[in-house]
């Protein structure tokens, strides 16, 4: 039972993982496992300690929010950078492919014209025009 550690030290109270130390009242109480945060009538967030005595819930919430926000921002920036790189790369590939197609088309037209003129010469030579 956590109440037996009331008016003792925070370290003694928190040896039991199910206990919550309230620094303002010096009470050791059962952690309300049905709720994420302890209710204000049990203990204020700035006075509540759980796990370790040197971190209160208020500081823990702020630190976790900052770390979580930083991670989300970093993920967003990485996604934007990756999307921009991926969208630029196919454009360059598309341009290169279009240039190659155009060069092939021009060469094919030149070959057709050359073959046509050769065939016309042969027809004239043998009088089959």
* pLDDT mean over 71-81: 91
- Rounded Cα distance between 64 and 90, Å, is 39
* pLDDT mean over 4-8: 89
What percent of the chain stands above pLDDT 70? 93
pLDDT recorded at residue 103: 96
Q: Kindly state the tokens that stand for 14.
A: 């928190």
Q: Which among 11, 21, 69 has a CA at the least distance from the CA of 46?
A: 21
Q: Which among 49, 5, 11, 44 has a CA at the least distance from the CA of 27?
A: 5
How do residues 21-35 score in pLDDT, each as one tens digit?
999 999 999 988 888
- Rounded Cα distance between 8 and 14, Å, is 11
In the chain the beta strands, taken as DSSP E runs, fall at: 19-22, 27-30, 48-49
Cβ 64 vs Cβ 73: under 8 Å: no
Cβ 5 vs Cβ 12: under 8 Å: yes
Q: Kindly report the pTM of this predicted structure.
A: 0.54
pLDDT recorded at residue 89: 58
């Amino acid at each position: 039972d956590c109440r037996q550690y009331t008016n003792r030290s925070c370290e003694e109270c928190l040896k039991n993982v199910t206990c919550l130390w309230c620094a303002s009242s010096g009470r050791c109480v059962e952690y309300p496992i049905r709720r994420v945060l302890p209710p204000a009538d049990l203990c204020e967030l700035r006075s509540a300690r759980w796990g370790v005595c040197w971190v209160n819930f208020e500081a823990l919430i702020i630190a976790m929010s900052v770390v979580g926000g930083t991670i989300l921002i970093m993920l967003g920036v990485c996604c934007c950078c990756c999307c921009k790189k991926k969208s630029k790369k196919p454009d360059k590939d598309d341009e290169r492919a279009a240039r190659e197609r155009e060069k092939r088309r021009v060469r094919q037209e030149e070959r057709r014209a050359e073959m046509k003129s050769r065939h016309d010469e042969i027809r004239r030579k043998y009088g089959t025009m």
